[in-house]
Amino acid sequence: MTDSAGADTQPMLLRKADWALSHVEDGLNLIAAAAVFFLMFVGVAQIVGRTIFDFAIYGYIDWIEQASSLFAFLGIAYAQRLGSHIGMDLTMNWKPASRWRIELFGVVVTIAIVTVLVWASFTNFLRAWQIGDSSMDIQLPTWPAKLMVPLALSVLWLRLLLQICGYLRMIAHPDAVPVAVPKLVTIETQVKDEIAEALGREDAR
């Protein structure tokens, strides 16, 4: 499928890469959600156990610390794909071509920072693995939790790389269908979507 300018609006390679990485991101996000559920369950069990049965979960703090890395990092690439990270958009009224360039600049800066973070977090994991680092209370090994950080950041790095390719394509062909990048929306479109969502919820009631 091509537009009037001859741009390929559905690049097969980019679309397949986005599809494959999206499945990985969805899986990691499900693991993060399961970790949140686990923490909620363990927290309730801890409170009820201590209050009613005078019973505490063995190594409660250690387990919470280890699980925190799951929900804190595994969903980061998923959120980047959807463009749902908290931010301030000052370019909503700009022309699409200019907005694509600003988005590209932001992603290039981000991937440079993430590259450093991947290396640093992997070094931290490797050190914990080599010295046998463990938690203070029940001597739980810390390397599995620390491994989650470079793993999640590596997936984020791949997502950012795909977005760079997607933004370069949109800069070259502004009228093409966006692939592997969040769609740009105006204030009016965002407000209409929020109103439609609110009305839909009310109708569902």
Domain count, the chain: 1
6 within some domain: no
CA 146 to the chain's CA centroid:
17
> Is residue 38 in some structural domain?
yes
Residue 63 within any structural domain of the chain:
yes
Q: What is the pLDDT of residue 131?
A: 92
Say whether 4 sits in a helix, a strand or coil.
coil
Which residues, in sequence order, are CB contacts of 48 under 8 Å at separation 6+?
A: none
Res. 6: pLDDT tops 80: no
What is the average per-residue pLDDT within 183-201? 60
Determine the pLDDT at residue 176.
84
Which residue, chain included where needed, has tokens 């977005």?
163
Token pair listed for 201: 């919820």
This prediction's pTM: 0.80
> What pLDDT is attached to residue 19?
94
- Residue 84 counted as domain residue: yes
pLDDT at residue 180 in the model: 86
More confident residue, 31 or 71: 31
The pLDDT score that the predictor gives to residue 60 is 81
The answer on pLDDT for 178 being more than 60 is yes
- pLDDT band for position 138 (50/70/90)? confident
| Under 8 Å between Cβ of 36 and 71 | yes
Residue 14 has pLDDT above 80, yes or no: yes
Mind listing the pLDDT tens digit for each residue in 66-125?
A: 888 888 899 999 989 887 766 656 555 567 677 888 889 999 999 999 999 999 999 999
Residue 59 lies inside a defined structural domain of this protein: yes
Which phi and psi angles does 11 have, rounded to 5°? Answer: -65, 120
Domain coverage including residue 28: 12-204
Domain presence at residue 2: no
Task: Match 């200019």 to its residue by tokens.
Answer: 98
Any domain includes 120: yes
Q: Of all residues in the chain, what percent carry a pLDDT higher than 90?
A: 38
In a domain, 7, yes or no: no
Region 26-41: mean pLDDT is 90
